[in-house]
Structure 1
Amino acid sequence: MQTLHEKLKQARSEEDVKDIYIKALGLKSYSKDLIDICTKEIWFEAKDTAKNSSYAMFTQLLHYAQDGLNKGETVPPFLAVIDTEKAAIMKTADVLPFLAKETVKWDKSASQYPKEALAEVSAHIGTHFVSFRIATHEDEFISTVNALLDAGRSLWQAYFAQTDVYSVREDYKLNCPDVGWYQIRNALKLRNTNGDGLSVDFSTFESAYKTLTEKLQPQVFELGFLRT
């Protein structure tokens, strides 16, 4: 059986790369548009070559995140970049304060970002993402993404298991078609606080979140972000 890396080496287009990752990760509910692979839990930026750095790919992905935030939309709890040789994942919460400052001067097109934007994004995200070499860490990458997807999916299922009262739906704009992670998370936490309906267990999600953080810490030194 071919490994993920072997399949990626045979990719001839960005669509091939996306489809190979979708199959490897077992994604069922997703869309492919400006955001290459979009799920409620993770956004993926994909490339059919390894010549782009993770910083460059995250810069493009953060352009979409910034655009969404400016429109009052929300982004999922995780962001990821993938190509034929490598992959990387970060927690959206680590970049939201940076994006909220709106200091980056973006181009009209996400793929045509200015050098200044790349430099500014790179300086911020340098210690905030976990990298995987697909040739040697395929299993770890897949298991990490699946754990994050499963944890996020369980909370979405808990949310749709009951309907919130009108005041909560209005406060968090839960009836909007673009309802996202920020609204869902806070509505679920409010249910726990108010005792409305069944209690929602965040432990699986928090465990997956903590595990990603722990994977990041050794790479701060391994990848040269900080020196001892």
Structure 2
Amino acid sequence: MTRGSPSWREWLLSGLASAARNDRLLVASAAALRDTTTRPVTQSGATSLAVEELERLRRQLQVFTALELVNPSGVIVAASPRFASGMRWRERAVLARAAAGRAFAVERIGAPPVPRLVFAAAMFAPDTTRPVIVVGSIEWAAIGPALQIPPLIAGVVEGFIVDQAGLPVLVSYPHGVVDYSRPLPSHRALASGAPRYRSADGAEVIGSAHDVPGYPLSFVAEIPVRAALGGL
């Protein structure tokens, strides 16, 4: 199974959903957290239990850098690694899609913003009325290793994964600080049919882009003109 392929994505989503739903203690805590009539003491106990189970699941699903449980109000009620709960999930659209089963998204968080891959599944699927969502995320620094993309694809060829707006999701071989909030030069150049352009660091390169099947992403490969053309 190729990492980054639709089958790998579905395998991760299916594995996350299956592991969470087969964890009876996590299911019990999720049910208590979904019920708004549950007493505060019970809610607190359910949260503590959910944290313990998420810690255990993260050791089992090591590709994820974080696992979180989100209640029907969109509030993170338990997480591994542990942090103070009560934060509201930023992108509600992925939660809405996950309520119907499973969902994948690329989100940008922090200041300056950096990308992360998000895999989300309903604890009780389908559950579109009072969904409790389990979310597994892969933080930006772990995306390359998770997808098994080396710094240099082949020789001096560098690779990038970008979203539909041309914003970088993965830069295989960063030259200095990467601005993940700004489209790469390849986005405009290749969209206009110009395969030869200057890269983000000013080097003259030849680039090509290909859709990543099953994802709202593209893979861009760049090679320096001097390496591609040699003495021509």
Pairwise TM-score range, normalised by the shorter structure: 0.3 to 0.5
- The TM-score, its normalising length taken from structure 2, stands at 0.32
Tell me the TM-score normalized by structure 1. 0.32
**Which has the larger share of helix?**
1
More strand by share: 2
| Structure with larger RCO (C-alpha < 8 A, sep 6+) | 1
